[in-house]
Structure 1
Amino acid sequence: MNLINILNINGLVPKLPIIQGGMSVGISLDNLASAVANAGGIGVIGTAGIGLIENPQTRKVKEANIEGLKKVIRKAREKTKGIIGVNIMTVLTDYKELVKTAIKEEIDLIISGAGLPLNLPEFLDAKSKTRLVPIVSSLKAAQVIFKKWWMKYNYIPDAFIVEGPKAGGHLGFKKVDLENPQFQLEVTVPQIVDFCEEIKKEYNKEVPVIAAGGIDTPEKVKEIFSLGAKGIQVGTPFIATQECDADIRFKEALINAKEEDIVIIESPVGLPGRAIKNKFIEDVSKGIKKPFKCPYHCIKTCNFVDTPYCIAQALLNAAKGNLDDGFVFSGKYGYKIDKITTVQEVINYLFEINIDKAKESSPQRS
């Protein structure tokens, strides 16, 4: 099977059908996103806490995030002429402000999940060129978003990203459902592909399906494409690259992780998350409460009264290399990665480009 599908997101056509997962806080910024775009994929900036990276002590968080997002988008644009998107979680308290800012900066696409982005099209105007791509974990979620967008805004999603339970970070599933066969990509991707075929027949708009979560080998890419997906979204494999914006100690935590270190945690935001176990996570699980206050009020669903730690602060600490006071999110198969490579090498491996050379520097263990 040809691994180079044509991915067309309402006129946005990357050379390669791959989107880099938007990883916050401070993991995928202008450096990683532009590198992926330059390699022919779609680079994505993670927006959560983006203003805290340079100014972690600020009390004007919304203002800092808006300015931080502008700055990172503009820096990415200086580094690439390729396709750049942003990932904006619906649970962010400054969701509306970040969406408006990204559109004003003429970002190519907005990817939005961690809840249903039911009102996302309302921020567009007649001149907007930004494409809108919701992240869903089920056929029902895709149907609800489509119906709401069409009925209220006369807008059809430009693509769907279907994220399965093997992804890293916050997961759109209940913990008990993570191993349930009916929620795996092998089931949900064909369901949503069929739904998008119905949309195409009735509304004459192509809505490609992009699969995400646990896609870490060329064999998996082939399987996903055989199910009808037009593209893939990949996050974890891009962490251990030279171009990733995180501190080297963050990358080394992934490289050194063993299979048993990849665990499911209960995040303060009310969702399960997949992360690499370390002393910080062990202390939290033992009920050792970290010194805590809520400085940012960044997530609508965060139970900041009872939670033992600040998720934004923990992720920011980790991104800067302070793993004593934070942790690293990872996909289910992150433990397979055992060395620092490059964005190009990750892409070569997944799509079997220059395969002999790619095998020599594969980001996966043999």
Structure 2
Amino acid sequence: MRKPLVIGDLTAKIPVIQGGMGVGISLSGLAGSVAACGGVGVISTAQIGWREPDFGKRPFEANYRAIEKEIRKAREIAKGGIIGVNIMVATQRYEEYVKTAVKAGVDLIISGAGLPIDLPKYVEGTKTKIAPIVSSLKSLNVICRMWDRKYKKAPDLVVIEGPKAGGHLGFSREELDTFTDESYDKVILSIIEKVKEYGETCSKKIPVVVAGGIYDRAHMDHALSLGADGVQMGTRFVTTKECDAAPEYKEAYLNAQKEDICIVQSPVGMPGRAIKNPFMDRVKTEKCRIEHCYHCIVTCKPAEIPYCITQALVNAAKGRVEDALLFCGSNAYRSHEIETVEEIMEELS
């Protein structure tokens, strides 16, 4: 039996955090089910309101409303389990997304795609726990020093996201080509050691979870052997009955071969990992007509981008996979059947 993952006054019986996957892949159905099985269920807030009728005209209001709805629905499924949200720092109006989730009573906010320097300010005076996502020792040091100096606050949890993760990645293309499993293990060890030092300084146990390429029990065992307190995994949960993605999206994972998984350049300026499909081939040479801006990421330049990432990800969530960006982790090709969340959690327990 695994040691539980303890995050302050929150305890996950199984030390597994389900990664936040947007747009519309990890919502209340998946997050609530993972939490009910003893893990930490995470809702992605990335354009979470895409199904709201006013999303096209009022995307921010639609997203705020959907955050509240999905957290409430996840709670009903979770049976008292832990519910978190993943909010990208690069999100336009980031502060409002955080405050909306806090107001809705979320247990944990996990935040990456940038440095969440002011996150402590937005949760001050609440019970909501906060966890930065880091990919390097440098980013950890910057966040911890700034949080201490500005807010006298240490992380409640640290997520180390490695180069095998899905979706947007916190590395340059050159770094992605350079890292080996062994070399990144050294990065993980250095971050874990520094987190331990920060925890001792502030008399606080700060758990660390490892993410990126975690697919099965062997991967989890390896992460724990490095000193991690748990793991975060996303890709494995996509091909579950409970996942909120469309059946066609799940089918794309089931049909993917190892050579189909590639690094792409996102139109918002970050490399990402996705499944090759006709859309990916088409946008290499053609510029899609962008008819509407959904105000997603601060780094997006609508006049210059080859396609709208919101529309491409919404198409994926709807199951229009031929016209979609299909984000995935490095092990997506290992998915061969639809599982249940309970089955996966039993394997990992």
TM-score, scaled relative to structure 2: 0.96
Paired amino acid for 1:8: V
Give the partner amino acid of 1:257: A
- Name the % identity: 48
Give the structure 2 partner of residue 305 of structure 1. 303
Matches within 5 A, 1:91-102: 91-102=90-101
Moved over 6 A (4+): none
* 1:320 positional shift: 0.8
1:144 to 142, 145, 148: 142
Mapped partners of 2:54, 2:141: distance in 1? 39
The AA in structure 2 aligned to 1:157 is P
The CA distance in 1 between the partners of 2:163 and 2:124, in whole Å, is: 35
Verify: 1:252 aligned to 2:251, yes or no. Answer: yes
Asked if residue 19 in structure 1 is aligned to residue 17 in structure 2, the reply is yes
Residue number in structure 1 paired with 2:241: 242
Residue by residue over 1:210-236, the C-alpha shift from the partner in whole angstroms, topping out at 9 and shown as x without a partner, is 000001121111111010100100000
Output the CA distance in 2 between the equivalents of 1:76 and 1:19.
Answer: 15
Quick check: 1:45 aligned with 2:43? yes
User: After alignment, is 210-219 or 248-257 more displaced?
Assistant: 210-219
Unaligned regions of 5+ residues in structure 1, if any?
A: 354-366
SS at match of 2:11: coil
Query: 1:59 Cα shift?
Result: 1.4
Letter in 1 for 2:262: V
2:185 maps to 1:177 = no
**RMSD of the TM alignment (CA)?**
1.4
Which residue number corresponds to residue 318 of structure 2? 320
Report the residue type matching 1:15 in the other structure. K
**Contact between 1:190 and 1:228, CA under 8 Å: does it hold in 2?**
yes
Q: Report the equivalent of 1:68.
A: 66
* Secondary structure class of the residue paired with 1:328: coil
Query: Which SS does the other structure have where 2:7 is aligned?
Result: coil
Shift of 1:176: 1.1
1:266 is aligned to 265
Give the AA of the match of 2:304. D
C-alpha contact 1:59 1:295 (8 A) present in aligned 2? no
Question: Which structure 2 residues correspond to residues 1-366 of structure 1 after superposition, within 5 A?
Answer: 4-55=2-53, 58-80=56-78, 81-126=80-125, 128-181=126-179, 185-285=184-284, 287-349=285-347, 351=348, 353=349
Aligned residues of 1:214 and 1:333 also touching (Cα < 8 A): yes
> Whole-Å Cα distance in 1 between the matches of residues 64 and 286 of structure 2?
34
Contact 1:26 1:50 in 2 (8 A): yes
Amino acid at match of 2:177: E
- Looking at structure 2, the residues matched to 299 and 102 of structure 1 have their Cα atoms a distance apart, in angstroms, of 18
Aligned pair count reads 347
